[in-house]
Amino acid sequence: MINISSQLGNLALEMELDIKEGKLTSLLISDKKYISTATVSSENEVNHMQVKGIQHKLKHYFLTATAISSVALLPRGTSFQKSVWNELCKIPLGETRTYGEIAKKLNSSARAVGNACRKNPIAIIIPCHRVVSATGIGGYAGKTGGKQLAIKRWLLNHEGVNL
């Protein structure tokens, strides 16, 4: 778990790499209060450097609202979830799409897209926060209020989207 200072306060990000593939499989915003710096097996220096690189890119994102690129991803999920996450990665910084728009592209339903967004294992980099409902901001991480929705609203504002 790594700690990143942001305008949201300290964020605890749980990060996991696939050792074989050397790709990011998980990046979750955690509610844990006591956290340490990144912990990576000392026997694998390459993965340690990857974690440090991702940490640097995230810090840069929080400072500048610059798109996070060049991170090898390996999200774990169903074929449908992966197709939704692939569409999310196509949404440019500073723009949003509705659940319905993505559903139409995938010949699915807005609810199914929302469920896939909720299961997104790589927060911020796979930008599920850029998906909104047809009538408002929608939810974030399965929540429609509270801290999670405040995070979504902040991320969108940070990227130049005002809802």
Residue 128 known to be catalytic: yes
Per-residue pLDDT, 143:
87
pLDDT tens digit sequence for 30-41 = 655 533 444 444
Please say if the pLDDT value at position 44 is more than 60.
no
* Cβ–Cβ < 8 Å for 103, 110: yes
86: CB partners within 8 A, 6+ apart: none
Element (H, E) at 14: strand 9-18
Domains in the chain: ranges and CATH: 2-64 (no CATH), 79-158 (1.10.10.10)
Element (H, E) at 4: strand 2-6
**How far, in Å, CA of 139 to CA of 69, rounded?**
25
Nearest to 58 by CA among 69, 47, 49: 69
pTM to 2 decimal places: 0.85
Element (H, E) at 32: none
Per-residue pLDDT, 35:
39
**How far, in Å, CA of 59 to CA of 79, rounded?**
31
Work out whether the CA dihedral 55, 33, 150, 1 comes out positive or negative: positive
Residue 9 is encoded by which pair of tokens?
């306060």
Element (H, E) at 67: none
pLDDT tens digit sequence for 111-156 = 999 999 999 999 899 999 999 999 999 999 888 888 889 999 999 9
* Cβ–Cβ < 8 Å for 115, 141: no
- List the catalytic residue out of 17, 110, 124, 128: 128
